[in-house]
């Protein structure tokens, strides 16, 4: 340990800061903490992020506070606990992490008091993810002056909390939050407490709604449109009947939207078509997953209306045909940089489709053909011959691809930096080794551990290629 005594604390801390994350080049990065108590102390002092899984029987609020005190520079903390009351743990965090800027608490619903304490003890919080009861108010947000990103999942526990009204805590009618990103999961139709939130989110740039049956009371529509004025990014995941309602409000109140994601919009096909044809926004990214009523006419409308579209992602669009995709590709040939056709029937069933897409979309930088199980080498290789500028390629779950496709990847795509070939049964360890050796720009590859030979692993380490898999 002579070398250990020579190295001063400051030098060791700088070395620890430069270590890569455990999930990338070395799975033993954190093992430096096992060398000695001194190294453990110094390693902890350099950590800015931490994730904890707590078991109530093994961890008390006092022990949590003591543990967190060893991380003086902690800025991002994630805690998951499935039992017990979260309020004491949140109070422990508030008292132990004054420099905290990001907090994710996966637990039972959080009561009001510890949230107010958090605003006082951690004034620099910019990102917060929590679980709330269905009967709750958002007025406490005015005390988190730096908060920009908020994620709330609702867990309806009958009678656990009383609804907090603005009149009991002060007048916040004119409050204007700094929130730029808002994620809400589990809103029920008629859910109280959102009128004030919608009115106060005048700076919102990104809105994510997940498994929501409504946007609150029916009287809140005028308040809801208030947050749409400057919206740039919208995600609607499994939101059923409200998709059409939200899209209609976008047409009337939003001109700044450039990214739209819809997952599971069965029954909203007409509303989507109306949005596409009537919208005044300049959409750049469109992601449609499981839209069972998406048809060719939607794609034709997209090609006509959003000629500046740079990213189009389609997932399980079973009613779209190859002709629809070809027509769209011809109209958007100069702008489209990302194309995803995930688990889409037409990819493997319509000969020549991928070749036509490759010829038309010469500016593609990202291509995702994952889970097209009947896709074969001939079709795939014919497309790659035209996609010379690809930097990211995903073919996860394409069972019909073999070594021939892998060879085509590094021969045709000279700028390829990231590849996902997980769950491709036809691609063996030999092909993976050949790819790692010959794809010079490669920086990241997703592949099963069993297909990574010693030669592949050694070469990836020398070239600083991240090998990710399971």
The reported pLDDT for the residue numbered 113 is 85
> What is the number of other CB atoms lying within 10 angstroms of the CB of residue 216?
22
> What CATH code would you report for 307-469?
3.80.10.10
pLDDT reported for residue 470: 64
Q: Which residues pair with 235 in a beta bridge?
A: 208, 261
Least confident of 85-99, 313-327, 358-372, 452-466: 85-99
**Residue 21 in this model has a pLDDT that exceeds 70:** no
pLDDT score recorded for residue 56? 60
Q: What's the whole-number mean pLDDT along residues 264-288?
A: 90
As a whole number, mean pLDDT of residues 121-135 equals 88
DSSP 8: -
Which structure tokens are listed for 38? 């001194």
Q: Which two tokens stand for residue 274?
A: 């109306």
Top mean-pLDDT range of 112-126, 175-189, 203-217, 431-445: 431-445
The CA-atom distances, in angstroms, between 435 and each of 168, 196, 207, 278, 449 are 65, 55, 40, 47, 15
Q: Report whether pLDDT(310) > 50.
A: yes
Q: What confidence category does residue 373 fall into, taking pLDDT thresholds of 50, 70 and 90?
A: very high
Q: What are 418's strand-pairing partners?
A: 392, 444
**Pick from 443, 441, 450: nearest CA to 422:** 450
Q: pLDDT tens digits, residue range 403-427?
A: 999 999 999 999 999 999 999 999 9
Query: Is 165 a residue whose pLDDT tops 70?
Result: no
Strand partners, 78: 51, 104
How does the average pLDDT of the chain come out, rounded?
86
pLDDT of residue 164: 45
Residue percentage of the chain with pLDDT more than 90 = 54
Q: Kindly report the number of other CB atoms within 10 A of residue 361's CB atom.
A: 24
Per-domain boundaries in the chain: 41-155, 307-469
> Each residue of 249-264: pLDDT tens digit?
999 899 999 999 999 8
Rounded to a whole number of angstroms, the distance between the first and last alpha carbons of the chain is 36
Q: What is the pLDDT of residue 162?
A: 43
Q: Which residue has the higher pLDDT, 108 or 297?
A: 297
Confidence of residue 133 (pLDDT cuts 50, 70, 90): confident
In the prediction, which pLDDT does 33 show? Answer: 65
Distance CA 64, CA 260 (A): 41
Task: pLDDT band for 116, please (50, 70, 90 cuts).
Answer: confident
Q: What CA–CA distance (Å, rounded) separates 260 from 271?
A: 14
- Pure H helices in 307-440: 322-331, 345-349, 353-360, 377-384, 403-412, 429-438
């Amino acid at each position: 340990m002579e070398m250990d005594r020579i190295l001063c604390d400051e030098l060791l801390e700088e070395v620890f800061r430069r270590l890569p994350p455990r999930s990338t080049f070395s799975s033993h990065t954190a093992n430096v903490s096992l060398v000695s108590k001194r190294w453990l102390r110094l390693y902890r002092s350099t950590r800015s992020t931490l994730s904890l899984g707590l078991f109530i029987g093994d961890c008390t609020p006092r022990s949590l506070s003591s543990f967190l005190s060893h991380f003086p520079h902690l800025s991002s903390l994630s805690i998951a606990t499935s039992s017990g009351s979260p309020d004491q743990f949140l109070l422990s965090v508030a008292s132990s992490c004054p420099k905290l800027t990001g907090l994710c608490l996966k637990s039972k619903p959080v009561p009001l008091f510890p949230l107010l304490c958090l605003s006082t003890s951690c004034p620099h919080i910019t990102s917060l993810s929590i679980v709330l009861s269905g009967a709750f108010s958002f007025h406490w947000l005015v005390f988190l002056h730096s908060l920009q990103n908020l994620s709330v999942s609702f867990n309806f526990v009958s009678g656990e909390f009383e609804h907090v009204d603005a009149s009991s805590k002060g007048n916040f009618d004119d409050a204007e939050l700094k929130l730029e990103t808002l994620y809400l999961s589990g809103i029920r139709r008629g859910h109280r407490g959102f009128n004030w939130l919608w009115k106060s989110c005048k700076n919102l740039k990104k809105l994510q709604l997940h498994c929501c049956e409504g946007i609150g009371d029916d009287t809140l529509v005028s308040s809801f449109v208030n947050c749409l004025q400057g919206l740039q990014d919208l995600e609607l995941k499994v939101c059923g009947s409200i998709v059409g309602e939200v899209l209609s409000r976008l047409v009337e109140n939003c001109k700044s939207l450039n990214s739209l994601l819809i997952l599971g919009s069965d029954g909203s096909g007409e509303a989507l078509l109306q949005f596409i044809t009537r919208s005044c926004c300049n959409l750049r990214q469109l992601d449609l997953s499981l839209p069972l009523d998406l048809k060719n006419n939607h794609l034709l409308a997209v090609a006509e209306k959003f000629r500046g579209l740079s990213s189009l992602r389609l997932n399980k669009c079973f009613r779209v045909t190859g002709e629809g995709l070809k027509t769209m590709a011809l109209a958007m040939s100069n702008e489209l940089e990302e194309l995803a056709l995930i688990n889409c029937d037409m990819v493997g069933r319509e000969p020549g489709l991928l070749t036509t897409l490759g010829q038309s979309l010469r500016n593609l930088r990202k291509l995702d053909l994952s889970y097209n199980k009947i896709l074969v080498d001939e079709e795939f290789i014919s497309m790659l011959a035209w996609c010379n500028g690809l930097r990211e390629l995903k073919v996860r779950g394409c069972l019909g691809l073999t070594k021939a496709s892998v060879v085509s990847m590094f021969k045709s795509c000279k700028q390829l930096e990231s590849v996902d070939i997980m769950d491709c049964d036809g691609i063996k360890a030999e092909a993976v080794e050949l790819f790692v050796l010959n794809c010079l720009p490669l920086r990241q590859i997703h592949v099963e551990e069993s297909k990574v030979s010693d030669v592949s692993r050694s070469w990836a380490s020398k070239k600083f290629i991240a090998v990710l898999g399971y």
